[in-house]
Structure 1
Amino acid sequence: MSVSTLPRAVIDAAARFGDAPAIVDGERLSFAQLEQRVLQGAAALIETGLRPGDRVAIWAPNSAEWIVACLSVQSAGGVVVTMNTRLKGIEAQYILDKTRARILLTVGDFLGQDYRTLLEGLDLPHLERVLTLDGEWDAFAATGKDLEAARTAMLAVRGEDPADILFTSGTTGHPKGVVSGHAQSVQAFTCWADCAGLGEGDRYLIVNPFFHTFGYKAGWLACLLKGATAYPMATFDPVRVVELIEAEGITVLPGPPTIFQQMLASSAETGVTLSSIRVAVTGAASVAPSLVQRMQSELGIRNVLTAYGLTESSGMVTMTQMGDGVDRIAHSCGKPIPGVEVKCVDRLGEPVAAGREGEIWVRGFNVMAGYFEDPDATAEAVDADGWLHTGDIGCFDADGYLRVTDRMKDMFITGGFNCYPAEIERILSGHPAIAQVAVIGTPDERMGEIGKAFIVLRSGAEANAEEIRQWCRANMANYKVPRLFAFIDALPVNPAGKVQKFLLAAMPSDEGLRHVG
């Protein structure tokens, strides 16, 4: 059977790997049991009225139930909308309303937060039902009776059908939903798994969140495609990570550089190595050569790989290869995956020579179907010839390895999460004391980059950094909250009125000290 959809991947994995463990999360769920649970969940969704193309949102941390629910929705023909667990109520409301999600799958408790309470009092006219994965999903799934109808629905899903919508922000300040099809996700992460040498018998600890491509598609989907065992982890805890690695003989551990920096700090205290790990894949930020060397020498990780992708490219564009040296891993993000074209171009769209920088354009099966119900934004991102204009700056070396050197887009990455200043500025502008605000990213040793907000207060208004920081924490995801604040009398602008952020970057960091002039 040709695997071109996630539902078919479930059926194929059950046939090929049977009683081998698919997911370990408290209980051990085999590939055969996973298929049965997905069938049951899909049957329940179909019988409750879910139609092909309907959107179902998942707002929950990593768990076996997350995987089962996602595959159940997709097997019923639905489209999964993933939601960041750090979102606040108004941020979640925008996504639920934009996609007209009929069902929300969430949790009753995560780190002391019941997400349902964040939605209280908000207008959600399209949302018909809320189910908790940690309390109500099993009972709901058990109501599914017609498993044959569910299997028929699974087989009816086509490769070109939308599988999911993942939201990414941008210069408009409002998140945009990236629509990806089944076949492109399967193909992209078959390539990813092949580059990583992922296979049957591998034990993969997934600390990257499932709402992001890194944890979802480069995580449990890759495991499903190759017969590896997924170990979901809801929150990153270095002590618990070490315990699991030692107890289960974990062989694969991807994550952003910050995770490995924390593991190194923990190792320095305990002396523990991670020698069972065959491969680690990192990315989402620049990687220092010293970090790669320490991951190998101090943590005992045999192979370290890096990759480059963006949500609009199904999360995959390039990846390094097994055997690439430390410098290549640290200073490049690999070669294009099979079936994908990449070029660096000048301002006229003409390719530049190796070694010269240009905007990175991508074309191939991995490019998104488009932004959800936003043809104008889609046309701006993907040209008539199918090239995705990434907004990233890079260059190829003589061997065809890509290096990402800068971003055209006004974006920074903190702890592996993309932060878009326009979105943060839009939310901050809602503060009653703020007249104007500009946000930039600034280097940080631990997080890679952190946000710094330059604030012009309204006439007669009073506010300090801590007050605004607390307001931000109540109104935006924690990773978006600026870590540094500077209060200034006016934002520097050019004759056209555009804020000159390069001038802001040159200002000294301070916490609430008012710049004069």
Structure 2
Amino acid sequence: MEMFDLLAHRARVSSDRPALEDLESGEHYNYAQFNERAARLAAAARDHWGLEEGDRLAYLGHSRAEFFAMLFGCAKAGLILVPLNWRLAVPELEVLVEDCDPGALIFGAEFADAAAELQQRCGPLTLVALDGAADGQRDYHRDLADTRPDLTAHPDRDPDTPWYLLYTSGTTGRPKGVIQTFRMMLANYLNIGLAVNLSGDDVLLNVLPLFHTAGINLYSSAVFMVGGSVLVARAFDPDQALQVLEKRATIFFGVPAVYQALLDHPGFSGERLKGVRSWGCGGAPLSLPVAQRYVDAGIRVRTGMGMTETGPTVFLLDEDKVIDKIGSVGRPQLLTEVRIVDRDGRDVPPGDAGELLIRGPNITPGYWNRPDATAEAIRADGWLHSGDVARCDEDGQYFIVDRWKDMYISGGENVYPAEVEKVLEQHPAIAEVAVVGMPDDKWGEVGKAYYGVHADRDAPDPEALRAFCRERLAGYKVPKAFERVDALPRNALGKVTKQELRDHAKQ
């Protein structure tokens, strides 16, 4: 299948149906207006910002409905959109900008200073202001108004043509721009859209950052495929989220930190949220206590697993398994093959742990300007080496044991920190915990646990935690060191950035 103009066709089929709404500004588009907005961006990029097919267009700003006009406008113009992580400092953003070399940068008012500094640091770069332009800058809305949009469908293209780039966090080295394509988006729709029965009547509340694959594809892009509606929040706010989930949304996807925040809100109740028919969670495991509280409220949160490199959907757990198979990411979805292999690339027996390999039309063609990294990750016969340690149980349900890089070897034994963390999470005083390996003269490596404590609990001393672990774990798995922290370091999706902890543990 060629890359066709999805939005132009959707506008033809569903012109008057609501497509997008910005919950902060109130701006909203039906599909005809959405298509026109994207076409205007394509024209403005060509006529006012000097961009040609294949050029990159960067975006630095918070989540807003207009982002999707940029995304589909780039598809129309043959441009490559680069959403930048607004949490990064300017020197970190500079690395990304120099790597992708955009011709123009669209920015929100809150990042005007950062945009100006990037222009100074990175050389020729057209700055396009979303919220009022300064001297020497282009005005986004004025430029879009001053165009003659072509509302016809763009020419068909190779489905593996780069459409947008999503940069990895770079916590373990130089950030990599993961190429995203139309084929990946279509495969993701078939993997997740069919699994949750998306329809044109669905309304999604999107609270996740749009520089991440989950913000774009879980489930926004899939909702556009079926002609549903996406409500875009500038950021996650529990008050706003509960109101929208109660009154408007039918589907929702969040990360565990979001689900915990909703539970902690005094206005949370299952009765209030009965209009949401499908709940999804990813980014990290949902703990049994949290999953059980949702089940008690009549809500079954389905966990899954994917990667930026996989578009992202690979696995999804069935609703009737959310407690019985807690910790599982479910089964591989329709357009994905998986294997679990040992260090020599041989398939492991059922129940054994090994590295997860993934193959299918949802796999990225590679990393921007990084043939070395592409060759390392995607090897013979198109198998992507995920870097995740996984196992499959007797029922065909998959479990992500840990990250391959997070595993450490203590006295010749493999230790998976996630296993130790699950034990420590059972301690009544522990609010959050992360375990990493640190050097040890005797054993090579040993564990160090960083933990936070519930506000209404006294902090347990390290020896008490050590004894708690000894009752539940083999001796070599018990952390040697414990350190209390006010909060674990996390990225934009709430994942713990373990590299920071590993670096700290080495000091």
TM-score (norm 1): 0.76
For the pair 1:340 / 2:336, whether they are aligned, the reply is yes
Instruction: State the partner residue of 2:143.
Output: 140
2:109 matched to 1:108? yes
Report what 2:185 is aligned to.
185
- CA drift of 1:509 comes to 0.9
Partner Cα distance (1:234, 1:409) in 2: 33
Counterparts of 1:496-511 in structure 2, within 5 Å, are: 500=445, 502=447, 506-509=480-483
| CA offsets 1:165-223 (integer angstroms, 9 cap, x no match) | 11114575221111122112222223211111111111100011111111101232111
Structure 1 position 296 matched with structure 2 position 295: yes
- Report if the CA contact (8 A) 1:101-1:127 is conserved: no
Give yes or no for contact 2:115–2:127 (8 Å, CA) kept in 1. no
> Is the deviation greater in 187-196 or in 268-277?
268-277
Counterpart of 1:10 in structure 2 is 7
* Secondary structure of 2:252 counterpart: coil
Quote the residue 2:370 is aligned against.
Answer: 374
Alpha-carbon distance change, 170 to 362 in structure 1, aligned in 2, over 3 angstroms: farther
Partner of 1:429 in structure 2? none
Aligned equivalents of 1:63, 1:447: Cα separation in 2: 32
Q: Which range moved further: 252-261 or 167-176?
A: 167-176
Q: In the superposition, relative to structure 1, how do residues 494 and 129 fare at CA in structure 2: closer, same or farther (>3 Å)? A: farther
**Matched residues in 1 for 2:44 and 2:126: separation?**
13
Q: 1:68 aligns to what? A: 69
- Cα distance in 1 for partners of 2:484, 2:224 equals 48
SS in 2 for 1:87: coil
What amino acid does structure 1 have at the position aligned with 2:346? Answer: E
**Aligned equivalents of 2:362, 2:384: Cα separation in 1:** 10
* 2: CA distance, partners of 1:271 / 1:384: 48
Instruction: Write out aligned runs for 1:338-487 (5 A).
Output: 338-410=334-406
Amino acid aligned to 1:385 = D
Secondary structure of 2:117's counterpart equals coil
Aligned to 1:472: none
The amino acid of 2:275's aligned partner reads S
Cα shift at 1:443? 7.4
Alignment CA distance shift 1:116-1:361 (3 Å): same
Partner of 1:477 in structure 2?
Answer: none
SS in 2 for 1:366: coil
The 3-state SS of whatever aligns with 2:483 is: coil
Q: Percent identity?
A: 29
1:230 corresponds to which residue?
A: 230
What's the offset of the Cα at 1:134? 3.6
Return the offset for 1:18: 1.6
Structure 1: distance between partners of 2:287 and 2:117: 44
Shift of 1:503: 5.7
- Secondary structure of 1:393's match? strand
Q: Please tell me whether the aligned partners of residues 189 and 218 of structure 1 are also in contact (alpha carbons under 8 angstroms).
A: no
Aligned-pair CA distance for 1:385: 2.4
Cα deviation for residue 155 of structure 1 reads 2.3
Q: For the residues of structure 2 that align with 1:384 and 1:258, how far apart are their CA atoms?
A: 37
Does the 8 Å contact 2:191/2:314 carry over to 1?
no
Residues 450 and 288 of structure 1, relative CA distance in 2, 3 Å threshold: closer
Letter in 2 for 1:67: F
Amino acid in the other structure paired with 2:480:
A
TM-score after normalising by structure 2? 0.78
Change (3 A) 1:295 1:14: same
Q: In the alignment, does 2:19 pair up with 1:45? A: no
Change (3 A) 1:355 1:510: closer
Is 1:311 aligned with 2:308? Answer: yes
- Pair 53,493 (structure 1): closer, same or farther in 2 beyond 3 Å: farther
* TM-aligned CA deviation for residue 359 of structure 1: 0.7
CA distance in structure 1 between the partners assigned to 2:187 and 2:214 by the alignment: 15
1:123 CA displacement: 4.8
- Tell me the CA shift for residue 409 of structure 1: 2.0
C-alpha contact (below 8 Å) 1:309/1:318 kept by paired residues: yes
| Distance in structure 2 (CA, Å) of the matches to 1:175 and 1:448 | 27
Taking a change above 3 Å as real, the CA distance of residues 125 and 272 of structure 1, as seen in their structure-2 partners, is same
Separation of aligned partners in 2, 1:321 and 1:503? 35
Q: CA RMSD in A?
A: 3.2
SS of match in other structure, 1:116:
helix
Alignment gaps of 5+ in structure 2: 133-138, 408-420, 450-478, 487-503
| Structure 1 residues 24 and 449, CA gap change in structure 2 (3 angstroms) | farther
Partner SS for 1:253:
strand
Q: 2:96 maps to what in 1? A: 95
Question: Aligned in 2, Cα 1:206/1:121: closer, same or farther, shift over 3 Å?
Answer: closer
Amino acid at match of 1:282: C
Q: Contact 1:97–1:124 at 8 Å: present in 2 too?
A: no
CA contact (8 A) 1:75 1:157 kept: no
The amino acid of 2:97's aligned partner reads: L
Q: 1:262-300, CA deviations, whole angstroms, 9 ceiling, x for partnerless residues?
A: 1111146789731111111001111123322322332x4
Q: 1:507 to 1:67 in 2, by over 3 A?
A: same
SS in 2 for 1:139: helix
Q: Kindly tell me: are residues 169 and 266 of structure 1, through their superposed partners in 2, closer, same or farther at Cα, counting changes over 3 Å?
A: closer
- Structure 1 contact 88–118 (Cα < 8 Å) conserved: no
Q: Which amino acid aligns with 1:198?
A: L
Query: One-letter code of the match for 1:184?
Result: M
